[in-house]
Every structure is written in C-alpha cells, then in structure tokens.
Structure 1
C-alpha cells in the first residue's frame, strides 16, 4: 500500500500550535507503521461526499483526515474537530478522468436563484444605475478543452460564465494546474496543451505538486518538517520546460519577483548531478546569505541521495573565487579595504602633482572602469566601453589619468592587497588557459547582479552544452552598472526564457510594485526582459501606504499594523520589517518593540530566529519571503539614500543611483506574499507615490 502525504495536510499542520504539531507528527508516524492499529481510533466519515475519508483522533480536539483505499493511505488534512470534518465534507479525492492526475477537489455547489419563491417581494430601484455585468472570459472554451487541462467536470458550466473578477474570487478553490492554465489563457488567449498521461497517477507531474509518496520514516520526517510551501519542490509546466531543456551554449531565465527563477536554478543543479555521475556543479549567487539559502533548499531537494549533494559546490561569487584562488596559489587573498584604496588615490594624485583632479572622480573611474574591466595598460583603457559613465574622456585625458591608476595598483601590490575585481580576474586568467575546467556546470542565481569581473570568471569555469545557466531579473539589479555580456563571450541570445506566473506575491502587491519599473527592459546586448503578461495566482488585500507626521507617529502606526497581522493569525516568524540602511533600523526595532513582539536583526549568517520578527536592511531582504512585510522609513532623503546621491560624479551616475535605489525598493516590497505596509515620515519618497495604481 502506498503511504501518501498531501500538501493540504502539511499546510494545515503548519497552522497548529507547536504542541499540536508535535502530537500530530507522532500520530502520523504511528499511522505509517501500522494504519490499522486500534489505538488510533479511526472512524469513517459518513457525511462526506467521498466514501474513502476517515478521521483519526490525535487528542481530545485535533483530528487527522485520511483518505484510505485498497491501494493507498493518504494524510489529507488536520485541524480542530469541527473544522477538520467540515473540510472533508466539502471535498473528494480522485484521479481526473482525462488527465489522470490525482486531485483534491472542492465539491462544487452553486446556489441558484429560485425566482418564484420571491415573486411577491417589492424591490426598490437602485439610487444609481447598475453597472453592466463584466463579460465572461472563458465562454469560448469547449468542455473538452477544459477537461484537457484537468478541470473537474462539475465546475465546467460555472467556469464558462466567469468574469475576470469572478475568476480571482474562485481560483484558489480549483486544482492549481487548472487555475494556472485559465490564468494563462486569460492573459495570452492560449490554452496549454494537455500533458501525456502516465500509467501511474502518482507519477503525473500535477499529482507530484500536491501528493508525495513516503516510503520510509526518514522521508516522512522530511515531509513533515519541510512542507512544500516553504521550499517549493514542484515545478509549473513553464518552469519544468526550462529545467528540462538542453542548450548549446549559455542560457538565461528571467521573470519578475516571485516567478520561481531560483526554483528553476535549483532544479537545474539537481538535474545535472542526477543525470551525470561525473558532474561537478557550482551553484552561486552574489551574497553569502543567498548562497546559504540555496544550500538549505538543495539539501532538501536531494535528500534522497546526499552523495549527489556532495558534487555541488554552493558559494557566493566572492567565496567561490577565494576558494579557487587558494587552490591556485596556496594562500587566501587579502582584500584592500576602502581606506587603503582612498589613500592610494590621494597619494597618487599628490605624487603626480594633479592638484586639480578630484579624488572622488578618480575613485569612480577606478571602480567602474579600470578595476572592473581589469585594465592593465593604456591601450586597453583607451578601448574599453564606458557604459554608465557620462564622461567621454579623450585620448589625452586618458593618457594623463593612466599613471594615477598604475600608481594605485603598484601601491596595493606592494602591501599584498587585491581588490575583489582583481581576484576574479586572476581566477579567470588561470582557468581560461586550462583545457580541463573545475566544473561541468555553473548555475547562477540573481544573475542581474553579476559584475564584469564576476561574469568573466564564471565564463572561464565551465564550457560545453548546458555548462552555463543564469537566472535573474533586470528589474532587481541593485549593485552593478549595465554592461555587455557579449563583450565577455557570454551570449544568451536565442537561449533566453521568461517566466510569467507569480506564485509568491498576491496580485494586489505585484501590481503595486510593478508601478516602480518599466514594463520592458532591454539589456546592453538587446535581450529584452518583458514584464507584460505577468500574473499572480492568488488574491490579497491591497498594500497600505501611510505618510506619518513624525517618527513617533510612524512607530505607533507600524506597531498597530504588526499587532493586527498577528491577531489575524500571521506568526511573528512570518513577518519582515525592512529599512533602507543601518541608520534607519532603530525605527524598525522601535516599532517591533512597541507592538510587544520580539525582533531579530538579519545578518549574513544563516540563522533560525524562532518565532521572532525579522528586521533588516533592504539589501538583506533579497531572496527572502514573508507573509507580511513592512517597509519603513521611506522618507525623501532615505529613498534614494542621500549619501549615494551626493557621491554621484555625473548625470549618468546619478541616473544609475536612482535606478538601482528604485530596484532596491521593489525588491523589499516583493518579499511580501499576502500583506505589505509602507510608511515614511513626511515628505515621503517619490518612489512611494509611484506605487499608486494607475
């Protein structure tokens, strides 16, 4: 007999108290060992539409709903007595007659207007004329077409009458694959082709999204400790298509926040080590916290074979480069601190007698051009592209500047110091010359924040089909100036895919956040990131945006919001509070404390905060997800950060500051799944006004 566990069970389990979860897990283990043991007090549910539903007693009030047939035993739901029975009364579990996928179907009941019963009632006319009914958006679909995508037969006639508004009201009651196919049809006018039906319903891709077969006690423990909504093991067909595709060269997947780019990257890594016993994979991202998060998720994805996990190196760009550098040289790199760079600039200018040369301009030229591109002589400096730098320096100006950069490089070398760009360049040079590469695959998450030096290194670490894969969103670029990937030999043209179905963020939050960015973004090489057609699969309340009189007023209002979120059933661990920089975090801490909640500040380490509110800067929000997010201190001088504005040396650099600050705000807002609250002290940032829906 197959022992199964449904996502509806793990989702319901997460809503119980800690003690109730512990008792439920104990009962689940007992059921796996012996489903027939009498101590579990199993009773058939006689009022359910599905004759195979049974109730299992956990304690005096908690009940597990199981679905039991001759071939399988499924943990379907768990809740307090009345709620558990009510859930089962309204559902059935079956293999869809057309697709073969196992579905948990909410029984469709439609209350019809009985007409004559109310014939004698007098109805007063409306004060205002009634609004015309919204047109049905699925009326052109046939019954066969709806069955092909897995629609339960008793829902078809109602779906054909739905307007767009009605769809969003009802979509969460449909099987996920049906809701997504209808959403895609509404957005594009195309209905997805039906999946091939496997012989075993448990092997159908849509079954695997919601039902897991558990063979051992360890697998059950893993399923109970890591429910699907926390690590997203399933793949939507559009994601699966990218995971399974073979590419003749570098490839990239794009998509707005929440469309599952990271999930695709993780599955590409898992696929590589599952299909090739000799595969050596580097899974990398721009920061250590993101790399830590990738490590935890891939460990779950490859839990069936830890040996495969051992063939995946997971590290930030910098940590990966440092490890390779140590293998090359036998020593770890010593990075030049900012004060050493500043001193080198000032000393070089003084020694050369360039008294009219601004150190700030020279430092920007060094960081963005000379060091970023690893320019080693005047010839290379003369020919480098200057995207993002307004100053179009002539040949004589560059000749005059070059001795400054030579002196800076010599000063750093004399102290045994390197910049991060120099580290990446040295690793690139080493492995570009080697025929045998250190990895068979390099998979990059958050690829929009790759710099020139990082991309150059990554291009040298693996070669061949499927060797390089990038996942990113140009709208979330917060660190790097735009540059040509083609100039570094990385060509993703013709091998770039876009994801459009958003699983993480409600429609209301996504639509508000999308106002911050243009609908279409084109990179330097002409590859377009098109945000039109993006769709969220669930609804939620609109974001709240509050302009406060002063800091004390903001503290009170955010504290009230946090308390209301907790009262609505959101645990503190599911709440994130973010501000632009460390200078503003005291306001976040004050609001959390005023709400009577405990907060913990995010760091670069991977930590379990328990049942505490997460507090951090917007940069540390990257890659995280919370049911409720508060973005605080969105004051005029905080967003964009005034110090960055003041440091800009020309108009192009100032434009880049505003663009990346806007992207950073977008990143923070899109960490929210269900609820988003934005606040600032008057005058608030112009970015906040841009979020008003148009």
Structure 2
C-alpha cells in the first residue's frame, strides 16, 4: 500500500539534491573563474613588462602548449640574443626560501617549481638537436607585483616581475640574429599553439609601434663554429668559474649521446672534455633512478667540479657524487668495516729499509737508474695492477715505461717490492695503492648497488686497479662507464691499457678536436713541450696525441723570463701579475700561479704575502669565485682553467733542447716533466708567462 505524498516527497528531495549540486558546481566554477581571472591579470602584467624586449629583437610567445599535455600551457617563452627563457607567472604572496625548498606561506610549493625545471630539461633535449647548449635555456618564475626578489630553486630563477627584463638582458648578446631565427623555429615546433588559440603569428607579443612578424622563421643553416664564437663573446669577461662550465654546440649534442657499453671521450688539451663530463653527469642523473659517480685522481678537484655542477644543475646535487678515487676507496672500506692504516711517513721508512738492504752489486744500483725510478715501478707498475706473483710481472709489457728490463732486473725489482711489502705489514700499514686494491677486492666479494653511471675524469692518470674498481660499480651496462682523458697529458710514470682491465670500447669512442680554451699562440707554444712525445694510449695504440682541427681564439705571444736569480724571478713575477690585473675583465681570481712542487708553491705564496697580494692555495679552492690569486702545483691545477697563468720556478733545462747523452731514467723523467709543463701551459686561456731559473 502506497502512502499518499511519498512519491512527491522523493521527487522534491531529488530536485533539491540537484540544486545543491548545481550550487556546488557553480561555486567551484566561480572560484575557478576567479583563479583564471587572477592568472589572466598576472600573465597580462608579465606580458606588459616583457613587451619592450620585442623592440630590441626578442620574440615573445604566449600561451603555448606544454609538450605532452592536452590542456596545460606555458605562460610565456622569450627567445632572443640572450638565449631561451621559459617564464611561468605566479600570483604568490609570502614567498620564502629555506635551503633548496620554496614555500608560499606555510605551503611547500617546490614541486610546482620542479615541474618547470622538468619542462626546461625537455626543451634542452629538443634544442640540442640544433646544437644549442643546455646552458642557453633558462626557467623563470615571475612573481606578480614583486620587485627586487631573486631566488634559485631546482635550477629555476624565482624573480619579481619588475626585474624580468634586467634578468634576461644582463646575459648580453650570445646568439646572432640568424641563430635566433633558427632557435625560434625549433622552440615553436616544440611548444605548439594550443588548439583553437590564435595563429602562430598572433602569438608574438610586441608593443604597438613594432609590426608583428608576417612569416614564421625558416630553419637557417648555421655554422657551429660561428655559434661558438657568439657564445664565447658572452662569457669571456665573466669570472673564470662561469667560463669553466661553457659548452659549445657540438659538445651539447655529445652530452646526450647514448652508448651501449663503456665509452670514452678523448681529445687534446682545451677541447672541453671535463665540461662535457659535468653536463653529461646531469643528463645521466636525470635519465636514471640511481646515482652518478664522478671520479678523479686529484683529491682536491672534486669539490671544484661539484661547485661547477651546482651552478649548472642545483636540483641534482644530491644525485651526483664527486670524489677522488682514494676518497671513494677509503669510504668504502670504512663502510664495510675493513681495517687499514695509512701513514705516508712510516711507509717511506719501510721503503728506506728495503732499499738500504740492497747490495751494491744489485742491478738496481746501476748509475743509469735512480731510486725514484724503482719507487715508481713498484707503485705504478706492480701495485698499480695488483700483481701478486713474479710470473705476472716477468711477462708484463710495462705500458708507459720506455726502458725494457731483462729478467734478472725484474727479479731484483720484485725482491725490492716484496721487502717493502713485508716492511709495511710489520708496521701494520697499508699504502695508498693497497687501499685501492682492498676496495677493489671488497667489491669483487660483494658488489655495491646504487650507481647507474660512473664518469672518470683524467682517466689516463689512474692505475689499472683504480679503473677496475670503478668499472666494477656499473660493469658494461649501457651508458654505465664514461672515461674522459688525453694520453698526451699523462704526468705520472707507468700506465695501463683498457684491455688489461677487461674493458672493450668496441668503437664507442669520441674525439673532441676544437680548442676554445687556449689562444693559438698559447697552444703553439705549449705543443713544443710534447712535439716529439710518443706514448701508448689506454686504448693500447701508440700515438703522439690527438690533433686539434681548429683553435677559435688568438692572443699575445707567451712570455718567457729567464731570471738571473731568485730575487729577479720574484720581481718579474710580481710585475707580470700587476700587468695582467690591469686588463679589462681580469680579476685576481682569474689568475693562477702554478709550480712543479709544493715547496715552490709555498715560496710563491710567501712572495705574494709580502707584497700584500691576496691569494688562495689550490688545496683550499672550492670552485667558488674568489678575489684572490690562485696558487698551487700543476698537478692540482689539472681540470682547472685560468684567464692568465704564471708558471713559476720552471727549470730552464726543460725549455732547452734535450741532452744528447742521458740515462734511461733521466730521459723518461724529462718527458714526464715536459708533459707536466704542457698541462700547466694549457691551463691558460688568454695569457701565459713562464719564469725560469738556470737549472
């Protein structure tokens, strides 16, 4: 039985429910409309502030489609001589930055910023196809109604809208008009017009006195060398730290190249190998889920490279580890609870005892050799490979050592090595070569997970055991191991080949051959040091160094001062320093004074201190711009660059012709020292001074 009025009540309740839902939807629509109105106002404000850029050759693209999305849009893209700027407008208030996080009031909005960083990453990949380096694409969040506000979060600049124009134009002209047209065409293809929106021509925002473009730009055939010159002009006067992150167009493509196994990047000094490695580390970190290890031989270099990396990709600093090989090995041993003790002084005493026990008739005492020669033989040839039996050493090719050793001499060397090793064990010591071998064996017993990729800089300076240690972290996986280096810049005795480590490149090698760093005059002068130098490269080939196809800059001829004595040398060094600091665009932090030894570097610092010249030791330099002359050994300067280099206390005999009669040990040592000079000279970008003494 149906009660009267039941159906009418049910219908009334249904209609009221519909009305409530419509009111809720209306409220949401009203709120959304309000947000869009705010966005429209703030985006229009941003466009109004940016519009004057069109009058000086910039192109402004509004409301382009976010690649991969049907509805999301990019507020504004600016393309011009200063590069590409992707601008997102925010009507945020109470913005604060704490470390690497950004907040809007109490709300953490870092993820919103990171989305823009990801957008830029995709744009970098698209524009790399036309040779635009990643450093020319920038992400900017414009805060409506704000001024004099600038923060950097997740590689995105957060700026008050009033400061946008200054932020963009301060980079100066880096791209030529023809190159801008080419980049603009690529940007418009990557960020298409939203369906139903205005035509591409109408997307160009210009002030009224300037006529809109009538035609879309056509891709322009453009010479990478010309682009490199345009980009160079934009960074030559910047602090040297900015220059050290400079990437040219051909290198931009190489950064994202994929390899199906271990690969190598090689090239002569000044061709940009290390900077490619830094940018490649960022690319691999973004592309994978694990970490990237960037390893070097010089222990003080990682902090400099980490600083340069942070300048380029701050959002990835927690994904890439910059370490020296010995630092990595010691860290691993401590994590695994493997005991070791390094004491260089006591290790020296252990070798003293082993050496003093050799009889006068031993072939190791021959006049044509020195104690240091045999120390290097044990350190780099025997322990550097982790040889444990004499028969391994008896048949070894000894790559990197130019004097052949008969079997009886090798037996004497092995006996010296065994005596030294016993001395270490009796003292409860390990030397640095042992630390590497312990770490290598620890990884063989239990692999270490977590690293997707390993990049090795100055790979030619590592030992066989070091490369084996690093290779074991990633094996032969695609894009796992990248070796960077130049056999011509080997400054340590001994050597190895990749075949000894079990690494095959199988054609996965790339040669960089354009020198942007040095002037032609500096490079020609430096090449005299290695003109007749023959060496075996880590790929196992005899060679005389990779050729340079082009040098993009010219400058003054290097200066050699042949000092009459210490006082004359130091006075001339200070006079040269005063002279280069008068040059426009050169500050104290752009100058490096390099020496062969640490005591010589200490002498230079004593002279600078007495003259009231601020300086910083390369042992303490962190890669940040400093208003102080940088002083240190050539070995510590590996991987670094300076606008002006002063090589102090150079032995005069190294610049002279080689003696006709010289022992095998002396000849090999001279070649290594001249290679070291070559490395020091090629650290110089704009100018080189060499101070010599009579020795």
Q: Give the alignment's TM-score, normalised by structure 2.
A: 0.63
2:634 corresponding residue in structure 1:
618
Which protein is bigger by CA-based radius of gyration? 2
Three-state SS of the structure 1 residue aligned to 2:541 is: coil
Matches within 5 A, 1:642-661: 651-661=663-673
User: Offset of 1:665 from its aligned partner?
Assistant: 0.9
1:148 corresponding residue in structure 2:
220
**Pairing partner for 1:100 from 156, 165, 184:** 184
- Does residue 1:526 correspond to 2:541, yes or no? yes
User: Offset of 1:538 from its aligned partner?
Assistant: 2.6
2:498 corresponding residue in structure 1:
485
2:56 corresponding residue in structure 1:
none
1:51 corresponding residue in structure 2:
none
Change (3 A) 1:334 1:445: same
Three-state SS of the structure 2 residue aligned to 1:616 is: strand
Matches within 5 A, 1:190-205: none
C-alpha contact 1:5 1:75 (8 A) present in aligned 2: no
- Does residue 1:439 correspond to 2:451, yes or no? yes
Three-state SS of the structure 2 residue aligned to 1:339 is: helix
- Residues 254-311 of structure 1: CA distance to partner in whole angstroms, max 9, x if unpaired? 122222111111122212221111x2321110112211112112223321x3xx4323
| Structure-2 separation of matches of 1:253 and 1:281 | 17
1:324 corresponding residue in structure 2:
332
C-alpha contact 1:498 1:529 (8 A) present in aligned 2: no
C-alpha contact 2:81 2:180 (8 A) present in aligned 1: no
C-alpha contact 2:515 2:550 (8 A) present in aligned 1: yes
More off after superposition, 669-678 vs 519-528: 519-528
| Structure-2 separation of matches of 1:178 and 1:387 | 37
Three-state SS of the structure 1 residue aligned to 2:652 is: coil
- Residues 98-124 of structure 1: CA distance to partner in whole angstroms, max 9, x if unpaired? 553799xxxxxxxxxxxxxxxxxxxxx
Matches within 5 A, 1:549-628: 549-569=564-584, 570-585=586-601, 588-589=604-605, 592=608, 597-603=613-619, 606=622, 610-628=626-644
Change (3 A) 1:6 1:229: farther
User: Offset of 1:446 from its aligned partner?
Assistant: 1.2
- Residues 479-527 of structure 1: CA distance to partner in whole angstroms, max 9, x if unpaired? 2423222122123352221112222222322222223223986526117
**Pairing partner for 2:168 from 75, 97, 116:** 75
User: Offset of 1:673 from its aligned partner?
Assistant: 1.5
- Does residue 1:472 correspond to 2:519, yes or no? no
C-alpha contact 1:506 1:540 (8 A) present in aligned 2: yes
- Residues 641-672 of structure 1: CA distance to partner in whole angstroms, max 9, x if unpaired? x9xx9xx9x94433321122111111211222
Three-state SS of the structure 2 residue aligned to 1:373 is: coil
| Structure-2 separation of matches of 1:401 and 1:561 | 47
2:107 corresponding residue in structure 1:
none
Three-state SS of the structure 2 residue aligned to 1:555 is: helix
Three-state SS of the structure 2 residue aligned to 1:515 is: helix
**Pairing partner for 1:343 from 326, 331, 352:** 352
C-alpha contact 1:348 1:408 (8 A) present in aligned 2: no
| Structure-1 separation of matches of 2:293 and 2:259 | 17
| Structure-2 separation of matches of 1:227 and 1:102 | 31
**Pairing partner for 2:300 from 289, 298, 303:** 289
Three-state SS of the structure 2 residue aligned to 1:456 is: helix
C-alpha contact 1:336 1:412 (8 A) present in aligned 2: no
Three-state SS of the structure 2 residue aligned to 1:680 is: strand
Change (3 A) 1:628 1:595: farther
Change (3 A) 1:394 1:676: closer
User: Offset of 1:445 from its aligned partner?
Assistant: 0.8
**Pairing partner for 1:334 from 342, 347, 355:** 342
Matches within 5 A, 1:132-143: none
1:634 corresponding residue in structure 2:
650
Change (3 A) 1:656 1:402: closer
User: Offset of 1:345 from its aligned partner?
Assistant: 0.9
Structure 1 segments unaligned to the other structure (5+ residues): 10-29, 41-57, 59-63, 68-72, 79-86, 104-145, 152-176, 184-205, 212-222, 685-694
| Structure-1 separation of matches of 2:457 and 2:332 | 19
- Does residue 1:276 correspond to 2:284, yes or no? no
1:503 corresponding residue in structure 2:
516
| Structure-2 separation of matches of 1:462 and 1:36 | 48
User: Offset of 1:528 from its aligned partner?
Assistant: 5.2
Change (3 A) 1:493 1:544: farther
CA RMSD of aligned residues (A): 4.4
C-alpha contact 1:575 1:629 (8 A) present in aligned 2: yes
2:383 corresponding residue in structure 1:
371
**Pairing partner for 2:554 from 539, 546, 554:** 539
C-alpha contact 1:598 1:613 (8 A) present in aligned 2: yes
- Residues 596-616 of structure 1: CA distance to partner in whole angstroms, max 9, x if unpaired? 533333325637683222222
User: Offset of 1:535 from its aligned partner?
Assistant: 2.2
User: Offset of 1:229 from its aligned partner?
Assistant: 6.4
| Structure-1 separation of matches of 2:647 and 2:414 | 44
User: Offset of 1:322 from its aligned partner?
Assistant: 0.9
Change (3 A) 1:417 1:101: farther
2:157 corresponding residue in structure 1:
none
User: Offset of 1:404 from its aligned partner?
Assistant: 4.5
